[in-house]
Amino acid sequence: MTDGRSEWTARVTVRLADPALRVWLHSSLGPEASREVPRARASVSSPDAATVEVAISARDVGAMRAALNTYLGWVDLALRTGRTATRPSDARSSSA
């Protein structure tokens, strides 16, 4: 994070061994990054086959905190959902 006069920036990097989960995460975050959020912007990229990056910029520290909390929550939710959705059906029924 940088403390510039006009903008704060952060980069969240998620490395995943499972390429299917990387695609799932990137696909899940893409629509969220395209939404307009007051005082903050974000972009999602996949610089390589194992990585998803979320770049966030915000006008002030409060907007940065809110954006980071939001994107980290979405990353967690997308990964938990993706892992559950890709588990074999017998594992889901035995864990209930």
Has residue 48 got a pLDDT over 70? yes
Tens digits of residue pLDDT in 51-84? 999 999 999 999 999 999 999 999 999 999 988 8
- The CATH number of 2-77, from 3.50.50.60, 3.40.50.720, 3.30.310.50, 3.40.50.150, is 3.30.310.50
Q: The whole model's pTM is what? A: 0.79
User: What SS3 string covers the chain?
Assistant: CEECCCCEEEEEEEECCCHHHHHHHHHHHHHHHCCCECCEEEEEEEEECCEEEEEEEECCHHHHHHHHHHHHHHHHHHHHHHHHHHCCHHHHHHHC
